[in-house]
Chain A
Amino acid sequence: MDLLLQTLVNGLVVGSGYAVIAVGLTLVFGILGIVNFAHGAFYALGAYAVFLALSVGVPYLVALPIAVAVVVAVGFLIELSIVRRSLYGVGNHGSLIVTFALAQVLMALMLLIAGPDPHPVRSPFGQSNLEVFGLMVAGQRVFILLVSVAVLSAFGLWLQRSVRGQQITAVAQNPRGALYSGINVPMIRTISFMLGVGAAGLAGGLLAPITTVFPTMGNGSLITSFIVVILGGMGSISGAMLGALLIGLANALFETYVSVQWTPALGWVLVIAILLFAPQGLRGKAQLDRY
């Protein structure tokens, strides 16, 4: 019984980590129609920003927003100089190649500047443990859970309630229609891209203390994020959260009770099953034929 409870807790906290990474990916796809293969590189960039800020003596809780700001700024420049010029409204093939190239460039830059060695990142919750009713949870993981729930629900509310948020939703639904209604579509797109990669940066900063920081650290997370996003429904924020928790729980249960070796396959089996029976994903809208 203890084992089952501990496994469920593990699954939930790991899943909330997946949620923060995946939400930016689904956002950029949902609003901009871009499959962002550079997401993992922005994630690593956020982790490096935290690492660098800490190494000059900034405390972790301050370093985290700084890291998000750095990633958002880099995202802004990239949107302005590359994404805007090449990717909007041209379908998925272009975005796949361009963002993949972007990822390689970003990772190569991190490799050149910071070197390939893995770096530890310290957080005030780093090595501490919470023990509740005999269940062990690492402090940093609880922090991730709290931050991800807070940030994601605040963001969801903002999208629904604020004017700017509704404009973003409008651009996601129909950019041309939004343009005709007087919405500044290029600006909304820039904001959306910055939000998406900012979420990746936040995820990198949050997860850095429980992983280690190195240039290609985003590759594994990118794959998990794709599973989560496909499962939850491409473009749906609540879907990404649901998908992340589902994958977290399913992996934890499978690893504990069935087989560690087959766990990586589990995510894809779930994806195939979902696509067979609900092709739009758990929370995605059925895709209208856009072409």
Chain B
Amino acid sequence: MTRRTMLQGAGALALSLSVCATAFAADPVRIGLAMPLSGAAATYGNDGRQGAELAAEEVNAAGGILGGRKLELIYEDDKGTPQGGVAAVQKLMTVGRAKVITGGMNSSVVLAESSVTRNKILQVNMGAQADAITDQGSPFLFQVNNTVSMNSRAFNKYLTDVLKPKTAAYMGENTEFNKTVLEHLKASLAAAKIELVSVSTYDADTNDFTSIITKVKSQNPDLLYVSDAYPSRAAQLWKQVRQLGGFKHEAMSPGVVTPGMLKPAEGAMNGVITGEIFVASEPSPANQAFVQAFRKKHNVDPNKVHLVAYEAIKVIAEALNRAGTDSDYPKIAKVLRDNPWPTPRGMLKFDEKGRASAPYFYIQQVKDGQLVLLTQSRN
């Protein structure tokens, strides 16, 4: 190395440092969202984007955070696959210079991403539900949606105590989310002495279910339980169930049914029972304020995905603000764990593992292509 190149290097370094220092106050806080914007789960990504945009708008309209800095949302497509998710998060962290990673709709995807973000950056998982994600005990990893075990406890109780099937059959994709759903279902059915006559786990590329459904039909179960968090495929599956004559009781894993699944199913999901942590009709003032604002901006009623995206951005903004920093992650994580956070659903508290739990759980049934509330329980 010559003296000249050393001088040049030092000059460049000094220049970049001074640029950082002067740009700091005006710089927006960049929040990276890795979401499925294409592929079979894209409708979740689209909904998530709408919810996040509303939240960012509200925060910015109220003057931003950390002394007037605006929120800037940057999006990357995770394609609904673990490989896509890892690539998206890496790009957001490096090229995107994101201070926080959020997004996340599918469990296998977020699980893969969490190995990249672990101990490096704050990650707030909006939508993915598998317990395994937060079970690892990553210090900067938080989850807004309910976990599968929280949802299953309430939902399976309804299935075993109210529907009381004698036999049940399960169909679901071979992923982390569905695996956890199945484990809980097995335990609940065994406790209620209901026989699980068949378990069919299919691969991500499967698009024809007629043989599986034919086989399940031949065993004649009282209840068919389907678990699938990819709306286009789930819609297809239910259409084929309907074509082959359907079942006495039909249930879909809680927390995955949105209009993006109901619309392409074209009424094939009528009669299906599911569960959710949010309904737009909930009369509390905080919820109605959110629903009105959302309607005004997007002209539709918000669904659960809209809600968790909105909440995630709001909670992130508020937490950075209270911690007074956008990059001291231990401090932000402590603030997140120690305080309750007001959201449309009510006060959200994160536990030791970084999980929030919903105050309410709603059992719903599809009627005429719409979700109708059957009953609600308090957690």
B binding-site residues for A, Cβ under 8 Å:
36-40, 42-43, 45-46, 79, 174, 200-203, 205-208, 210-212, 214-215, 218, 231-232, 235-236, 239-240, 242-245, 260, 263-266, 268
Q: Identify B207's interface contact among A117, A221, A263, CB under 8 A.
A: A221
What's the minimum C-beta distance from B42 to chain A, rounded to whole angstroms? 3
Please determine whether B243 and A127 come into contact, CB atoms closer than 8 angstroms: yes
Tell me if A11 counts as interface (CB < 8 A to partner B): yes
Cβ contacts under 8 Å, A127 to chain B = 239, 242-243, 266, 268
Cβ contacts under 8 Å, A95 to chain B = none
A binding-site residues for B, Cβ under 8 Å:
2-3, 6-7, 10-11, 13-14, 17, 107, 111, 115-120, 122, 126-127, 129, 136, 138, 210-212, 214-217, 219-221, 223-224, 251-252, 255-256, 260-261, 263-264
Please determine whether B264 and A116 come into contact, CB atoms closer than 8 angstroms: no
Complex: chain B residue closest to A222, CB-CB: B205
Interface centre among B37, B203, B232, B240 (most CB of A within 10 A): B232
Please determine whether A255 and B211 come into contact, CB atoms closer than 8 angstroms: yes
Complex: chain A residue closest to B43, CB-CB: A117
Q: State A217–B80 Cα separation when bound (angstroms).
A: 13
Known: A117-B42, A120-B266. A263 touches B202 (CB 8 A): yes
Q: Identify A216's interface contact among B39, B208, B211, CB under 8 A.
A: B39
Q: Identify A120's interface contact among B212, B235, B242, B245, CB under 8 A.
A: B235
Known: A3-B218, A260-B200. A122 touches B266 (CB 8 A): yes
What's the minimum C-beta distance from B39 to chain A, rounded to whole angstroms? 5
What's the minimum C-beta distance from B226 to chain A, rounded to whole angstroms? 13
Please determine whether B174 and A261 come into contact, CB atoms closer than 8 angstroms: yes
Please determine whether A264 and B40 come into contact, CB atoms closer than 8 angstroms: no
Interface centre among B40, B206, B208 (most CB of A within 10 A): B208
Q: Can you pick out 5 interface pairs between chain A and chain B where the beta carbons lie within 8 Å of each other? A: A7-B215, A116-B46, A119-B264, A120-B265, A263-B206
Please determine whether A220 and B43 come into contact, CB atoms closer than 8 angstroms: no
Complex: chain B residue closest to A254, CB-CB: B211
Q: State A251–B45 Cα separation when bound (angstroms).
A: 32
What's the minimum C-beta distance from A40 to chain B, rounded to whole angstroms? 11
What's the minimum C-beta distance from B49 to chain A, rounded to whole angstroms? 10
A10-B214, A214-B40, A220-B207 are known contacts; what are 13 more A-B pairs with Cβ within 8 Å? A3-B215, A7-B214, A14-B208, A111-B37, A117-B43, A118-B235, A120-B266, A129-B243, A210-B236, A252-B210, A255-B211, A260-B200, A263-B203
Cβ contacts under 8 Å, A136 to chain B = 243-245
Known: A119-B264, A220-B205. A3 touches B235 (CB 8 A): no
Please determine whether B202 and A261 come into contact, CB atoms closer than 8 angstroms: yes
Please determine whether B214 and A211 come into contact, CB atoms closer than 8 angstroms: no
What's the minimum C-beta distance from A250 to chain B, rounded to whole angstroms? 11
Please determine whether B232 and A118 come into contact, CB atoms closer than 8 angstroms: yes
Cβ contacts under 8 Å, A126 to chain B = 266
Q: State A6–B245 Cα separation when bound (angstroms).
A: 13
Q: State A267–B170 Cα separation when bound (angstroms).
A: 24
Please determine whether A10 and B201 come into contact, CB atoms closer than 8 angstroms: no
Cβ contacts under 8 Å, A111 to chain B = 37-38
